[in-house]
Amino acid sequence: MSEKKVALISGANKGIGFETARQLGKLGYTVLLGSRDALKGEVAARQLRHEGLDARVVKLDVNWQADIDAAVKCIERDFGKLDVLVNNAGVMLEKGWTQNTTSETKMENLRATFEANVFAVVGLTTALLPLLQKAAAARIVNVSSILGSVSLQATPGSPTYGTKLFAYNASKAALNMFTIHLAHELRKTKIKVNSAHPGWVKTDLGGSSAPMSAAEGAKTEVQLATLPEDGPTGGFFHLGEAIAW
C-alpha cells in the first residue's frame, strides 16, 4: 500500500480540476488526473511532472462503467487505497443566464445533465468507496455550485435568484443531497464528505466574464480535500464559508 496520499480528480486535464491536481500535488499528494481523453490527460500530467509533481493520468469518462471499473482496478493495483476523491467533472448544457426557460427544457438535456452531474458521481464514488475506506482518513469532495442552493434560488434578492438554469441547478441540488446522505452514512467513520462551490471561475463552463481564475476556484476543493480530523462533514462550502442548502 502506498505511503503517500493519493488523490483522484475527475475532469482534471484542464480548468479547475487541473488546478486542483496541481495544488494537491504541491502538498505532496500523488495526483491521478481523470480525463475522458487519455492523450489530453497525459499532456496535463506531463506538465505537472515537469513542475516536479507526482502526476499520472487515468482514462476516465465518468459516464462509462468500463472506465470506472478500470480505474478502480488500476488504483487498487498501484496504491491499494485512495485518500481523496474529488468529483470535479460536470456539464452545463443550458445557454443564457438571465432568462428563465424552464418550460422549454429539453428532456434529453435534463437526462444528460443528471447523468453527468449526479448519476456518474454516485457511480464513481460508490465504486471507489472500498478503496477510500482503506485509507487512514479519506476525503470526498463533490463539486457543486451555489446555483444548487434551493434556499437562495427561492429567495428574492439573493445573488442567484435570477439565474434559473433548471437542469443544471436541479442537478447540483441533487448532488448536494447525495453529499448529505453519504456523509450521514459514513458519520461514524473517519471519511468526510462535503460539497464545494468553487465560485464563478474562468473556464469553458464559467465563461470569460467570470471574475475568478481556475487556480482561485480550486482553493475550496483543496481545502475540503485536506480537512483535518476535526473538520466538518456533510456541509456545503466556499472558501471556508458555509452556504445555505
**pLDDT score for 214:** 76
137-194, pLDDT tens digit by residue? 999 999 999 999 999 999 999 999 999 999 999 999 999 999 999 999 999 999 999 9
Cβ distance 235 to 221 under 8 Å? no
What pLDDT, in 10s, does the model give residues 191-242? 999 999 998 764 656 555 655 677 888 999 999 999 999 999 999 999 999 9
Region 30-58: mean pLDDT is 97
pLDDT value for 202: 47
- Report pLDDT digits (tens) over 71-109: 999 999 999 999 999 999 999 999 877 889 999 999 999
DSSP bridge partners of 195: 142, 236
**Are the C-beta atoms of 165 and 111 separated by less than 8 Å?**
no
Residues designated catalytic: 168, 172
Q: For position 208, what pLDDT does the model report?
A: 55
Residue 133 pLDDT more than 50? Answer: yes
Percent of the chain at pLDDT > 90 equals: 89
Task: Give the model's pLDDT for residue 215.
Answer: 85
**Predicted local confidence at residue 213, as pLDDT:** 79
d(CA 139, CA 82): 9
Q: How far is 24 from 5, CA to CA, in rounded Å? A: 10
- Whole-structure pTM value: 0.95
Report all structural domains of the chain as residue ranges with CATH numbers, in order of start: 6-93+122-146+174-242 (3.40.50.720)
